[in-house]
Structure 1
Amino acid sequence: MHKFLEATAGQHMTRTVKTVARDTTMRELQKMFDEDDFNYYPVREGEDIVGVVSNFDFLKCFAFNPGRMVPAYDELLSRTVAEVMTPEFIYVDPATKLTRVLQLMVDHRMKSVPVLDAEQRLVGIISRGDIMRTLTERA
């Protein structure tokens, strides 16, 4: 267990990360979720990460209440990531201990966390699966 306590996000993160642009449509995002089997993408604008979008954010487009008109399905799928993304998000740096990443995931009910370097550039993503694998390997 001691080996797990010393493990960091940078050691166990996924380094190749797919991102989406702010102008990605819900239709394109839905296709990406289906093809990649991901539940979360960082949103990139140039070299900066300006938010995150999850399959939960996608589904929020379709949540209605009695006081809200239901738009046409095509209209909903034409919306952009910028309209539904979460602009304020939690991230970690590569030196963050996995125990801290795990606590953030539990406290905020997150499945993945972006890993940003000192210049706030995306260098990876750490998921629940990454932590579970590491716990199994190092415990």
Structure 2
Amino acid sequence: MYRFIEETAAGCMTREVKTVTRETEMHSLLGLFERDKFNAYPVTEDAHVIGLVTKFDFLNCFAFAPAQMVPRYEALMSRTVADIMNPAFIYVSGVTKLTRVLQLMVEHRTQSIPVIEGERLAGIISREDVMRSLRKCATDD
């Protein structure tokens, strides 16, 4: 377990990140979620991350509330990622220790965190990535 303390985001993140744009429609986003089995996609513009869109953001559009009428399904599905994404998202750098990544995931109940170097997307780290690293470090000791 001592080895886990030294592990960084860069050591276990996914480097080939699939992204969406703010113009991506909900129809397409649903297809991506179903196909890729991801929980979140970074939203990029000109190679910069401008937000994050999650399955929760997608589903939130369909939540009923006493003060809100839910539009028809087709109207919701023609909305874009720009309408539902979170522009204020948590991110880490490649040198961020996995202990900190884990702490952020637990505190904010998030499943994936973008890894940004400078202003560019370097990767994404998921709960599964952290769990894989925990298991590897425990078996290596």
CA distance in 2, matches of 1:72, 1:131: 39
For structure 2, list consecutive stretches of 5 or more residues without a partner in the other structure.
none
Deviation at 1:12, TM superposition (A): 0.7
CA distance in 2, matches of 1:99, 1:70: 40
Q: Which structure 2 residues correspond to residues 32-71 of structure 1 after superposition, within 5 A?
A: 32-71=32-71
Residue 120 (structure 2) aligns with: 121
CA distance in 1, matches of 2:5, 2:69: 51
RMSD value over aligned CA atoms?
0.8
Structure 2 counterpart of 1:34, one-letter code: E
CA distance in 1, matches of 2:88, 2:45: 14
Deviation above 6 Å: which 4+ runs of structure 1?
none
CA distance in 1, matches of 2:104, 2:92: 9
SS in 2 for 1:23: coil
Deviation at 1:66, TM superposition (A): 2.9
CA distance in 2, matches of 1:83, 1:120: 23
Structure 2 counterpart of 1:133, one-letter code: R
CA distance in 2, matches of 1:8, 1:80: 34
Q: Which moved more, 1:66-75 or 1:13-22?
A: 66-75
Residue 112 (structure 2) aligns with: 112
Q: Which moved more, 1:67-76 or 1:83-92?
A: 67-76
Deviations 1:44-82 (A, max 9, x none): 011110000000000011012233223111110000000
CA distance in 2, matches of 1:70, 1:124: 35
Q: Which structure 2 residues correspond to residues 24-103 of structure 1 after superposition, within 5 A?
A: 24-103=24-103
Residue 11 (structure 1) aligns with: 11
Q: Give the number of equivalent residue pairs.
A: 138
For structure 1, list consecutive stretches of 5 or more residues without a partner in the other structure.
none
SS in 2 for 1:30: helix
